Amino acid sequence: MLDDGEDCDDGNDDDTDACTNICKNAFCGDGVVHAGVEACDDGAPSPGCDGDCTAVECGDAVVNAEAGEECDDQNADDTDACISCEAATCGDGFIEAGVEECDDGTPDGDDLCNRCEHVSYRFVFTTSATFAGDFGNIAVADHTCTNTASAAKLPFARNTRWVAWLSANASQAVQRLDHDFAGWYVLPTDPPTLLARGWSGLTSGTLHHAIDTTEDGESIPAPETVWTNSDILGEYRP
């Protein structure tokens, strides 16, 4: 029988049916699990229970901040703004379509994906073959450098130009190279090894790595040295 203040009275002491032991209709959020209807009921979202009284599950379209979910787009697409119920960020290892060019999990690393953008780069190498200084002229030296890079199948783009870091009185390395390049100079290893950032880094006198790699990515054993007739700025120094 319903008395004043009662929603229901089913005459039993089963607290998991539609009428609780305090004679109130069961509802999600009352802290009592309604058998066959609710998977859980903690009275509010908790690490183990969503606000709709279902068990926490990434992909159920219910965002449960208590369980550490930042989003829930109910899909397994790893290229959108929600990855495994966490907001996509640069450095999570997934490429967000239309936002990131790359994402290798190291947004501030020394590789060619930096801040989730592809870094423009140029290769620097020491020839595996040994050459004497009597090329005849600098143009022949540059041509030799180009042939070496081509044989090693280093990437060639349109208008690619290879320049030998050699100087003669009338033609210095610094005069034949691009001072405005702001990308990275790298060694042709796998993956590429950072040598310097931009022209200023290349000519700073302090490189991130020694120029000790051939066009094939092989290491040159110490203490081998090369003759360039140039200083660290690429200027003629006989």
| Tokens standing for residue 10 | 């089913």
CA–CA distances in Å: residue 98 to residues 115, 180, 224: 15, 29, 47
β strands within the chain, DSSP E: 82-83, 86-87, 113-114, 117-118, 121-123, 184-187, 193-197
Task: List domains and CATH numbers for the chain.
Answer: 120-238 (3.10.100.10)
Q: Cβ(159)–Cβ(152) under 8 Å? A: no
CB-based contacts of 194: which residues, under 8 Å, 6+ apart?
110, 111, 184, 185, 186, 208, 209
With vertex at residue 213, the alpha carbon angle to CA 183 and CA 190, rounded to the nearest 5 degrees, is 65
What per-residue confidence (pLDDT) applies to 77? 92
CA–CA distances in Å: residue 58 to residues 74, 179, 233: 7, 51, 56
DSSP 8-state assignment for residue 52: T
Rounded Cα distance, 176 and 197, in Å: 19
| Tokens standing for residue 134 | 């009597």
Split at pLDDT 50, 70, 90, the class of 61 is very high
pTM (global) more than 0.85? no
CA–CA distances in Å: residue 136 to residues 126, 133, 141: 20, 8, 8
CA–CA distances in Å: residue 103 to residues 7, 87, 90, 106, 186: 57, 14, 7, 7, 19
Q: What is the pLDDT of residues 85-131, one digit of tens each?
A: 999 999 999 999 999 999 999 888 888 998 999 999 999 999 999 98
* Residue 44 pLDDT exceeds 80: yes
Q: What is the pLDDT of residues 145-181, one digit of tens each?
A: 999 999 999 987 677 889 999 999 889 999 999 999 9
